Chains A and B, each alone.
Chain A
Amino acid sequence: MATEESRSGILQGTLDLMVLTTLNSMGPLHGYGIARRIEQVSEDAIALNQGTIYAALLRLRQKRWISASWGASDNNRRAKFYAITRTGQKHLESEAREWDRMASVMGKLLAAGRV
């Protein structure tokens, strides 16, 4: 089980990427769905202040990386659904590559340090 420290601390700017990749793999979701999905995939290692999701959603919308439209939710209420756009997918691709690169560099460095 993760400590309280690592549960709450999300690297600045990573939430936007988490939201983007979630929308890319799951299709249109409302804010709650996105938050739940991120927590599930991270196996509750990440416990969001779920309200912060909406700041990320607005930032992404302003960059036209996601779009929003009103639809009916599971409990048949009006809910706002977010979907990734074509430019959002392109941005996600390049950002994901950058993460992979950084992660492998960090992995090598840390492995070298352990010897």
Chain B
Amino acid sequence: MFDTLLALLSRLSGTFRRRRAEQEFDDEIAQHLDLLAQDYIRRGMSPQEARTAARRTFGGVAQARETQRELRGLPQLDSFLADLRYAVRTLRHSPGFTAVAVLTLALGIGVNTTLFSAFNAVALKPLPVADPSNVVRLERWFEPAMHGNIQYGFSYPEYLYFRGHAGAFASLVASSWPFGVDGETSKVLGQTVSGNYFSALGIVPALGRTFLPEEDSAPGANPVLIVKEAGCVTPN
């Protein structure tokens, strides 16, 4: 976006300089023709004759101007600018069409940007763990049914079974769907995760410790909570 603007600005300044250069060249030609004519008057011609003779000696003025223009600039750029001017003129003549076109473009670009940002956050950005390229997600899908595919979660016993039998992975972690936790002042989102969640993914807490292996020995025995930085509050 910014470079496009810069490119457009430099093109604009280029045409500005060009107009000035053409003006200067016209002055130069006029001066040249005057000096030539004066020379012919000194040799005894009438002013009228002298002017005609000067033009003849100079050769084609228009041709000289054209040659200068060709030498000075980029013909492709010229035709591009001519196209641009034509487009702007046409758009100005039909404001309704312009508005619709601009709105369509704006909407299209907006939707694309939004979708990409979401996709980028979900799928393209590396996970914030120690070795993101070696993390895979285990999913279970059922055959297409009337209401489309449905993704079913695993039960805790199923997780334990897979953890014991998944030889292809160094470790297997589990996490629940996010659920709301009612606090005194606000509602926060939480997830229950398996005891090896942080150690297996290589996530180190900013403060304190993560789950200890012995805290995972019996279901429901050790309720341990880890809070996100933004959720930290002073206990009282």
Measuring CB to CB, which residues of chain A are less than 8 angstroms from any residue of chain B?
Answer: 30-32, 35-36, 47, 49-52, 54-55, 58-59, 62, 73, 75, 77-80
Contacts and interface: CB of A to CB of B under 8 A. Distances in A.
Nearest to B61: A51
B57 interface: yes
B31 A54 contact: no
Given A32-B31, A77-B31, A80-B24, A55 B71 contact: yes
Contacts of A58: 68, 71-72
Nearest to B67: A55
B199 interface: no
A49 B36 CA distance: 12
A51 B72 contact: no
B67 A75 contact: no
Contact of B71 (A30, A32, A47, A59): A59
Contacts of B58: 49-51
A57 B194 CA distance: 82
B71 A31 contact: no
A52 B60 CA distance: 9
> Secondary structure at chain B's binding surface: helix, strand, loop or mixed?
helix
Nearest to B57: A50
Given A49-B59, A51-B58, A62 B71 contact: yes
Given A55-B64, A58-B71, A62-B71, A50 B31 contact: no
A73 B68 contact: no
Interface residues on B, range: 20 to 34
Contacts of B72: 58
A108 B180 CA distance: 104
B28 interface: yes
Interface in B94-148: none
B80 interface: no
A68 B38 CA distance: 24
B35 interface: yes
B28 A54 contact: yes
Nearest to A54: B64
Contacts of B57: 47, 49-50
Contacts of A55: 64, 67-68, 71
B22 interface: no
B31 A79 contact: yes
Given A49-B58, A50-B59, A51-B59, A78 B27 contact: yes
A59 B57 CA distance: 21
Nearest to B27: A78
B36 A80 contact: no
Given A51-B58, A55-B71, A30 B25 contact: no
A32 B36 contact: yes
